[in-house]
Amino acid sequence: MAIDIGTIPARRAKKFPLYRTASGFVRDPLRQLEQMSEIADGRLVRLDLGASRPFLATHPDDVQQVLRRESGNFVRDGLFWRTMRELMGDSILAEGAEWEHSKKVLQPVFTTRNVNRLSGLMAEAINHAVDGLEEPASIGATIDVLPEMSWIVNESVIKVLFGDKISNDQANVLVPAFDQVATKITYRFLLPFVPRAVPLPGDRAYREAVETMDRMLFDLVDRYRDDPGEGNDIFTALCHARMADDSDLDDRWVRDNLLAMFATSTETTTLALTWLWPLLHDHPHVAERLQEEIRSVVGTERVHTGHLDDLHYVKQVVQELLRLYPVGWMFPRMATKDTSLRGVPIKAGSPVLISPYLTHRLKSVWEDPTRFDPDRFLPERTRDHHRYAYFPFGGGPHQCIGRHVFNVEAQLILTSILSRFRPRLLEAVPAEPRIGATLRPRSPIQMTLTRVRRTA
Ligand code: HEM
Domain assignment present for residue 7? The answer is no
If you take atom 18 of ligand 1, which residue's CA is the nearest one?
400
Query: How many domains would you assign to the chain?
Result: 1
Q: Distance (Å, rounded) from C-alpha 58 to C-alpha 199?
A: 32
Pairing of strands 351-354, 55-57: parallel
For residue range 17-40, list pLDDT tens digits in order.
888 887 887 778 888 999 999 999
Q: Is the pLDDT of residue 7 over 60?
A: no
> Whose CA is closest to 62, among 324, 438, 362?
362
If you take atom 7 of ligand 1, which residue's CA is the nearest one?
393
Q: Distance (Å, rounded) from C-alpha 291 to C-alpha 309?
A: 16
Count how many Cα atoms sit within 13 Å of the Cα of residue 364 in the half-sphere of its side chain. 14
Q: Distance (Å, rounded) from C-alpha 448 to C-alpha 133?
A: 10
Q: What average pLDDT does the chain have? A: 91
- Helix 312-324 and helix 268-282: axis angle, to 10°? 100
Supply the pLDDT for residue 455.
64
Q: Distance (Å, rounded) from C-alpha 104 to C-alpha 107?
A: 6
Query: Is any atom of ligand 1 closer than 6 Å to the C-beta of 401?
Result: yes
| Strand partners for 346 | 339
Query: Is any atom of ligand 1 closer than 6 Å to the C-beta of 269?
Result: yes
What is the number of the ligand 1 atom nearest to the C-alpha of 397? Answer: 41
For residue range 210-264, list pLDDT tens digits in order.
999 999 999 999 999 888 888 889 999 999 988 777 788 899 999 999 999 999 9
State the DSSP string of 139-184. HT--EEHHHHHHHHHHHHIIIIITTT-S-HHHHHHHHHHHHHHHHH
pLDDT top residue among 439 and 127:
127
Q: What is the distance in A from the centroid of ligand 1 to the CA of 274?
A: 18
Residue 219, number of CB atoms within 10 A of its CB: 11
Average pLDDT over residues 322-343: 95
Q: How far is CA 440 from CA 296, 322, 434, in A?
A: 33, 13, 5
Query: Is any atom of ligand 1 closer than 6 Å to the C-beta of 221?
Result: no
What is the number of the ligand 1 atom nearest to the C-alpha of 106? Answer: 35
Domain assignment present for residue 410? The answer is yes
Query: Is any atom of ligand 1 closer than 6 Å to the C-beta of 422?
Result: no
Lowest-pLDDT choice from 4-13, 236-245, 374-383, 384-393: 4-13
Domain assignment present for residue 5? The answer is no
Query: Is any atom of ligand 1 closer than 6 Å to the C-beta of 334?
Result: no
Domain assignment present for residue 2? The answer is no
Domain assignment present for residue 456? The answer is no
Supply the pLDDT for residue 1.
44
Lowest-pLDDT choice from 134-148, 178-192, 277-291: 178-192
Percentage of the chain lying above the pLDDT 90 cut: 70
pLDDT bucket at 438, cuts 50 / 70 / 90: confident
Supply the pLDDT for residue 405.
96
Q: Is the pLDDT of residue 4 over 80?
A: no
Q: Is 383 exposed, middle or buried (0-12, 13-18, 19+ CB in 10 A)?
A: exposed
Query: Is any atom of ligand 1 closer than 6 Å to the C-beta of 395?
Result: no
Q: Is the pLDDT of residue 75 over 80?
A: yes
Q: What is the distance in A from the centroid of ligand 1 to the CA of 269?
A: 10
Q: What is the distance in A from the centroid of ligand 1 to the CA of 301?
A: 32
Q: What is the CATH number of the domain that holds 216?
A: 1.10.630.10
Q: What is the distance in A from the centroid of ligand 1 to the CA of 367?
A: 27
Instruction: Print the domain residue range for 229.
Output: 14-451
Q: Is the pLDDT of residue 387 over 90?
A: yes
If you take atom 27 of ligand 1, which residue's CA is the nearest one?
265
Q: Is the pLDDT of residue 416 over 60?
A: yes
For residue range 79-113, list pLDDT tens digits in order.
888 888 999 998 999 999 999 999 999 999 999 99
Q: Is the pLDDT of residue 9 over 60?
A: no
Domain assignment present for residue 161? The answer is yes
Domain assignment present for residue 3? The answer is no
Supply the pLDDT for residue 230.
87
Domain assignment present for residue 345? The answer is yes
Supply the pLDDT for residue 448.
97
- Sign of the torsion angle spanned by Cα atoms 277, 279, 282, 286: negative
What is the number of the ligand 1 atom nearest to the C-alpha of 271? Answer: 1
Query: Is any atom of ligand 1 closer than 6 Å to the C-beta of 265?
Result: yes
